[in-house]
Structure formats: C-alpha cells, structure tokens
Structure 1
Amino acid sequence: MTDQPISFKDMCLRFDVTARTLRYYEYIELLAPIKEGRSRFYGPREIARMKLILRGRRFGFSLEEIRQWLLLYNQKGTREQNLVWVELADRQLKELEKQRAELDGTIADLRALRDSSAANLDD
C-alpha cells in the first residue's frame, strides 16, 4: 500500500462505493479525510478503516457498532479493542448460525413443496 493519499473519486472506485456512501461515512465520523478546499484525500489510515468498515458490514455489524469499535483503538488501545471484537464476533456468529438454520428450514420447505407440485404435474 502506498503512503500517498488518494482522491475521493479513487476511494469510491477502489472500494466500489457511491459518493453518497463515502460522504455518509465521513458524516458519522467513520472516516476523516484530509480536506484541501473542497477536495478530500484519503491516506493509509482511512483506507485501512474503510477495509474494516466494509468487512464489518459484510459480517452484519451495524455502522454504529463499527464506529464504537473503531473509537476504542484511540480511547483504550488495541487490547481493549480486540476484547470487544471477540465479544461482538461471538454474538454475530450466533446470530448468523441462527439465520442459517432458518434459511436451511425455508429451503427444505420450498424444495418439498416444489417436489410435491412437480409430482402432481406428472399425474
């Protein structure tokens, strides 16, 4: 990774997000770009934070949970941040496993109904 800041447009392209999303992340203080006039530039810290934000969203965490977790690094350091991360991850894993079980049940029900309907077509 380069230490050269990247532009607002390049940040959107790199992470495949809209300008609106990037401005919103700044508004809720997830990102703090370098501002030069009306231009915004994102350095290594913001690029790393964006990776964490998107990964957290993919895992199902709310933006507020991600924001609070990122704040811990500056407030209490890496150890406390990691402790909270483990707690959040444990909770989210349980939720995802519950969702998977519900989805598996729904798929089984749909498959059975589909198979029953297909069998009726043969009659």
Structure 2
Amino acid sequence: MHNSQVSAETWSIAELATEYAVTLRTIRFYEDRGLLTPERRGTARVYHPRDKVRLGLILRGKRLGFSLDEIAKIVDMYDAEPGEEGQLVYLLDQITHRRAELEQRRRDIEETLADLSEVETRCRADLSALRWERPPGS
C-alpha cells in the first residue's frame, strides 16, 4: 500500500479530506478564506500540524453552529500566545452565547416533539373513530 504522506509531520490535501471526511473543495474553501495556509511544493499543498489542528477546530466550530467569522476569530486565537485575557474573555463569551442558543434550540425541539405527539394521538383517535363508524364494506 502506497502512503502519500509527505512526512510524519505533514499531510496532503487528500489525506486531510479523508481523515476529516470532507471534500477537497471544502478544504480549499477554508484556504481561500485564510483559515488554512498550507505550504506549496510545486502544485502540491503540504499541510503541517498547525493546519491539521486548525481544520479540526474549524469543523468542530461548524458542528457547534458558529459562523465562519466567529470560527476565524477563535481559530486565530489558537495561534496567539495563550493566556491573553482579552482572548479568553472573548472565547468564554462566545461559549456562553452559543450554549444559550443551543439550550433554547433544545427546548424548542422538545416542545415541537411534544406538539407532534399530541397531534399524532388526536389523528390516530380520529382515524380510529372514522373506521369504527363506517359500515363494513363501504
């Protein structure tokens, strides 16, 4: 089996796409937005550990519902010196805000599921009543 990995500490675009189950186009999109900055060796893109970590953070941010602009700020913090108060306050604020949105969404989903169950119960009762009232063979 041929391993296209350039070295133990770098990855090709295809390897990252496979590992993270995304398309090459997705990775190139994040490059175009400046979120990933692979090394170029001729026409090949070579991704270093920084890019791999950033891609993981980007995809996690997307799953959590952050916008690309929010993700960019958070991912850029990864590169900055850790512990800067402003960065940590910003990140904590974003986490608090996103958690509140997700909790509200969960409440909305639970309420909608309860409403659907109620409507389903009424529909089944109505259908049963119609079948009971209708004479056989009609």
- TM-score normalized by structure 2? 0.81
- Structure 2: unaligned runs, 5 residues or longer: 1-6, 130-138
Q: Which one has a bigger Cα radius of gyration? A: 2
Q: Which residue of 1 aligns with 2:116?
A: 110
Contact in 2 for aligned 1:12/1:18 (Cα 8 Å): yes
Contact in 2 for aligned 1:3/1:43 (Cα 8 Å): no
- TM-score normalized by structure 1? 0.90
Identity of aligned residues (%): 35
Deviations 1:32-77 (A, max 9, x none): 11111111011111111111111111111111101112223445x2
Match of 1:23 among 21, 28, 31: 28
**Over aligned residue pairs, what C-alpha RMSD do you find?**
1.5
Asked whether 1:92 is paired with 2:98, we answer yes
The number of equivalent residue pairs is 121
2:46 & 2:89 partners in 1: Cα distance?
A: 32
Match of 1:46 among 51, 56, 60: 51
- Structure 1: unaligned runs, 5 residues or longer: none
Q: Which amino acid aligns with 1:20?
A: R
Which structure has more helix as a fraction of its residues?
1
